[in-house]
Structure 1
Amino acid sequence: MSGPGPPRRRRPRPPRSRPLLLRAGSSRAAGQGRRSSGGAMAPLRDCKAWQDAGLGLSTASNEACKLFDAVLTQYATWANDEGLGGIEGCLSKLKAADPNFTMGQVIANGLELIGTGSSVRLNKELDSAMRTMMTLSKSQPLSEREKLHVAALDMFAHGQLPKACDLWEQILQSHPTDLLALKFSQDTYFYLGYHIQMRDSVARVFPFWTPDVPLSSYVKGYYSFGLMETNLFDRAEKLALEALAIDQTDAWSVHTIAHINEMKAEVKKGLAFMKETEANWKNSDMLACHNYWHWALYFIEKGEYEAALTIYDNHIAPQCLSSGSMLDIVDNCSMLYRLRLEGVKLGDRWDNVLKITKKHTKDHILLFNDVHILMSSLGAKDHKTTDELLTTLQELAKAPGEDHELSLAPSLGLPLCQAFMEFENGNCDKAVDLLYPIRYQLIQLGGSNAQRDVFNQLLIHAALNCKSKAKQNLARCLLRERDVMRPNSPMTERLMRKAAAVHSMA
């Protein structure tokens, strides 16, 4: 999802759709409404509606308020809605409706920072937009809630992700139905690997999200994901199914159930569920690729590699090429690397992925992204790009300042990257020496349990191929551990047979 998510989403290009015209008294025609929790069309909220909800916005423009709602709705539901004008289209009109609307700038800058993999360090235009927002916020009589939103985003922009979450939580304590604070904090907790906090953040506000509150069914889906990531699978599945009963197009809740079936290695159930629901989520342009990724994981689990590659070639690779989304990039790299560990021949697929990842080699915004970008340069055997990624990361890590991610580079990010390199170079004993001591700390790099499982698989494959008998024995220990967590896993059974063969030859 992420992750992570899910890891980052690019702000999508404006869709080719009719313009968004927000006129008083109109409804869905020309993009006036958005889907409510019950699936019916609900009007976008104007100034008074936001005030009545206890979430007043400091603008006199009803059009700006409605456009803010349109952007928030699409962000919350993981889909550009052509009827609303798409996120980009709405943001453009939002700025025009009230250029001095601080919360309009908060949501625009927040989506650029949290949703795209951008950074004020890399993007001068974004840096300028953040400065404008900060200056504007000091010249206006904002509410305390709005001031906290500005401060939280400023913290995030400077790499202080945990502190940003603290401020969003402060908002939610007083305003539990502030969806922007909830969604920004959910995504940031995902990047931090704070899965318990991700779960509990929704738990604290969940009673306030009654069916009459717009998008409440999607909050059920957020809660179900936090429950799933903390291994409360039955409760998570119940909530996700409740959310889907309200809105079957809820791709995030589909994604939660996909995770549950993956973590429990319930392959048959997972495959059936994805096939049955595909028509409902395949048009969720921000999440469809990731759901196809989960579908392909079931085939890798079964050892049906051609079926996995078919999904990759038909859905995952084309989506990555068209979107450039960091979530799609991560899915591409992770999928190919898992297949590579299984010994599958991948042809020129790595070269195609590298064309997309290469431009992000020096970004170093999230370590989780870095290690996936590294997979692509290793897979394509591009030694220059590999060296460039590691060298620039090492340089930034020398003076991380208050950047949370860079502060983790020396202890986690760099050793993990080095482990991948050693494995690719055939130095399996060294790869295990680097990876095994940090395996329980890797959650700090973010992403979901399912996404980080590629690191577990790497450790097992490295241990199986070690020259040291002690490390070969470690591989068998890791597989016994995996068998307990994922009973009846075909992948574990395959690896156990390999371990037995290694043992008999030792």
Structure 2
Amino acid sequence: MIASSFRDCQAWRAEGLPLSTSSNEACKMYDAILTQYVTWRNDETLGGIEGCISAVKSADPDFVMGHVISTGLELVGTGSSVLLNERLASAVKRTVELGQIQQDITTRERLHVRAMEHFSKGSFPKACDVWEEILVEHPTDLLALKFAHDGFFYLGAQTQMRDSVARVLPHWKPHMPLYSYLKGLYSFGLLETHFYDQAEKMAKEGLALTPEDAWCVHSVAHVHEMKAEVEKGLKFMESTEKDWAGCDMLACHNYWHWALYFIEKGEYDAALNIFDSQVSALNKASGAMLDTVDACSLLYRLELEGVCVKDCWRELQQLTEPHTDDHVLLFNDLHFLMSSLGAKESGGAAQSQRLLEGLWERANVPEENYQHQLAGSVGLPMCQALLEYDQGNYSRAVELLQPIRYRMSEIGGSDAQRDVFNLLLIHAAMKSGVTHHQKLARCLLVEREAAKPNSPLTDRLIQRAHVLTMPAI
């Protein structure tokens, strides 16, 4: 990134997105933060996002959009709870105060403050509504678009995530900064609503403009995963690795996708090698929630396939334990629980109990927090199913998961990420001593084969299910 290319006060005004500060440096650092957020890449020559946040606050301590973007990014990172982190709670309070006392800020900026406040309270649907309100009047406000994209992702609102980008695309022109990255955003919405061919085409257009766009790479990886195009996926990840490996905020997740292809093929050693050399190493370095849940998910899938990963769980559990009481996302909680169950013999049992008890407490008094409202009907049954499966109570795991299987999208994440819970239900049904559950497993596998033909993993599971339900001779 070239610091001189970042937009100053006049440039933002010219684009119809005036920022309420007289500091050109503050405007440029705001642009630098936004650019790194959208490109998934900390630029160390600028001090990364953290360095730019410090710089924007030094340039203008009362610049409201500087506070919106810095506090908003920590919130959407989901690695900290406002209820537990006093510094984050104070940052939210300060941003809201600035929005109230500064009479000359724009309506757009005031709405940004309101959306951030909603999100801080866990009211994700209201936050997304406000970001969408901004985009009606200001379709080129990339911060509103990206925050809305993340918010819809956490809600499992796949159609909204797609349409949010579709509505603004005609207003973007190729000369505009970060224009090509909208193709990746739109591609992701398309693939999550099962328009796989259109999604791949859109992502490839983005890569033709910006080969280092890790989010476009990520979209293509999803397409190959959802279509069971394993060899295409492996070749694509290998051929593009040099372009996206430097995107430190998304590289771990792309390696996770790479490992999924090996699990699909049944090449578990290759998947474990990616876990050890990339996913685990990058997760330790970043501590980012996306990286942490990827590590949990990968180990859990390997374990479902019969691979022993006990030593890996012990190490990972030490990273998830500090987040046991956060309860920011149900999606995160479920993955933390995977790690504590995996490490139950080395301190994980107490963490599992604490997580479940804490989530019950939040579910009983959810207030306006959407995740906590959802905990009782979806989140806790899914958590309990993980626990029951771990304890060998397979029929109970099936009884918990089957009634809510079409609601599991509400915990957020992508189809590919949530597939671990589909697999959990299938494995539980196959292992259940109840004949009806074993028949259910075969039905689920027929359904899976129809949605994702030619999947080696599905074929292996079908063979196992067939053996289980064969009549005794």
Q: TM-score, normalised by structure 2?
A: 0.98
Deviations along 1:469-506, one digit per CA (max 9) or x if unpaired, are 11100000000000011111000100010011001156
Q: Are 1:104 and 2:75 matched, yes or no?
A: no
Pick the aligned partner of 1:376 from 339, 353, 356. 339
Counterparts of 1:375-414 in structure 2 under 5 Å? 375-381=338-344, 382-414=348-380
Query: 463, 467, 473: which is aligned to 1:501?
Result: 467
Aligned twin of 2:95: 133
> Secondary structure of the equivalent of 1:504?
coil
Match of 1:8 in 2: none
1:277 aligns with 2:237: no
1:83 equivalent to 2:45? Answer yes
Deviation at 1:466, TM superposition (A): 0.9
Matched, 1:420 2:386: yes
Supply the distance in 1 between the matched residues of 2:351 and 2:10 (Cα, whole angstroms): 54
Partner residue in 2 for 1:115: 77
Structure 1 residue 362 and structure 2 residue 325: aligned? yes
Task: Give me the whole-angstrom Cα distance separating, in 2, the residues matched to 1:318 and 1:80.
Answer: 17
2:449 equivalent among 462, 477, 483? 483
**Is residue 82–residue 120 contact of structure 2 (8 Å, CA) maintained in 1?**
yes
Q: Name 2:285's counterpart in structure 1.
A: 322
Deviation at 1:362, TM superposition (A): 1.0
Structure 1 CA distance for aligned equivalents of residues 79 and 471 of structure 2: 47
- CA drift at 1:83: 2.8
Corresponding residue for residue 57 of structure 1: 19
Distance in 1, Cα, partners of 2:33 & 2:308: 42
Structure 2 residue aligned with 1:458: 424
2:43 aligned with 1:72, yes or no? no
Residue deviations 1:167-187 (CA, integer Å, cap 9, x gap)? 000100000000000000000
CA distance in 2, matches of 1:505, 1:497: 15
Secondary structure of the residue aligned to 2:19 is coil
Equivalent residue number for residue 175 of structure 1: 138
What is the aligned counterpart of 1:295 among 253, 258, 269? 258
Asked if 1:471 corresponds to 2:471, the answer is no
CA positional deviation for 1:116: 4.2
- Figure out how many residues of one structure are paired with residues of the other and give that number: 468
- Structure 2 unaligned spans of 5+: none
Equivalent-residue separation in structure 1 for 2:464 and 2:318 (angstroms): 35
Q: How does 1:333-344 map to 2 (within 5 A)?
A: 333-344=296-307
Match for residue 413 of structure 2 among 442, 447, 459:
447
Deviations 1:243-288 (A, max 9, x none): 0000100000000000000001110100010011011101100000
Instruction: Write the distance in 2 (CA, Å) between the matches of 1:429 and 1:314.
Output: 37
One-letter amino acid of the counterpart of residue 235, structure 1: Q
* AA matched with 1:318: A
Partners of 1:113 and 1:62 in 2: how far apart?
A: 26
Alignment partner of 1:161 is 2:132: no
CA distance in 2, matches of 1:447, 1:170: 24
Give the match for residue 234 of structure 1.
Answer: 197
How much does 1:84 deviate? Answer: 2.9
User: What code does the residue aligned with 2:246 have?
Assistant: N
Distance in 2 (alpha carbons) for counterparts of 1:485 and 1:459? 17
Separation in structure 2 between the aligned mates of residue 73 and residue 345 of structure 1, nearest angstrom: 41
TM-score computed with the length of structure 1 as normaliser: 0.91
**Residues 388, 396 of structure 2: 8 Å contact kept:** yes
**Structure of higher RCO (CA pairs closer than 8 Å, 6+ residues apart):** 1
Whole-Å separation in 2 of the counterparts to 1:396 and 1:489: 39
Question: Which 10-residue stretch deviates more, 206-215 or 291-300?
Answer: 206-215
Q: CA deviation at 1:47?
A: 0.2
Letter paired with 1:236: A
Counterpart amino acid of residue 437 in structure 2:
K
Q: Is the 8 A contact 2:310 2:343 kept in 1?
A: no
CA displacement 1:62-92 (0-9 Å, x = unmatched): 0000000000000011110123331000000
Task: After TM superposition, give the deviation of residue 117 of structure 1 in Å.
Answer: 2.2
Q: Is the 8 A contact 2:119 2:127 kept in 1?
A: yes
Cα-to-partner distance string for 1:16-63 (whole Å, 9 max, x where unaligned): xxxxxxxxxxxx6xx514xxxxxxxxx110000000000000000000
Q: C-alpha separation between the residues in 2 aligned to 1:495 and 1:61?
A: 61
Q: Secondary structure at the match of 2:20?
A: coil
The sequence identity of aligned pairs, in percent, is: 58
Give 1:347 deviation, angstroms. 4.0
Q: Which residue of 2 aligns with 1:32?
A: 3
Looking at structure 2, the residues matched to 160 and 234 of structure 1 have their Cα atoms a distance apart, in angstroms, of 34
Shift of 1:209: 1.3
Quick one: distance in 1 between partners of 2:101 and 2:342? 52
* Alpha-carbon separation, structure 2, partners of 1:172 and 1:236: 23
Residue of structure 2 equivalent to 1:261: 224
1:9 corresponds to which residue? none
C-alpha deviation, 1:129, in angstroms: 1.4
- Residue 17 of structure 1 corresponds to none
Give the 3-state SS of the residue equivalent to 2:43 in structure 1.
coil
The secondary structure found in structure 2 opposite 1:313 is helix
State the distance in 1 between where 2:99 and 2:459 align.
Answer: 58
* Structure 1, gaps ≥5 residues long: 1-27, 34-42
**Which stretch of structure 1 is more off in the superposition, 377-386 or 264-273?**
377-386
Is the CA contact (8 Å cut-off) linking 2:140 and 2:168 kept in structure 1?
yes
Q: Aligned partners of 1:215 and 1:72: how far apart in 2?
A: 10
Q: CA deviation at 1:159?
A: 1.1
Q: Which residue of 2 aligns with 1:6?
A: none
Quote the offset at 1:408 in angstroms.
0.5
- Tell me the residue number matched to 2:9: 47
What is the Cα deviation at residue 118 of structure 1?
A: 1.8
- Richer in helix (by share): 2
Q: Distance in 1 between matches of 2:312 and 2:79?
A: 23
The secondary structure found in structure 1 opposite 2:180 is helix
Q: Distance in 1 between matches of 2:413 and 2:316?
A: 20
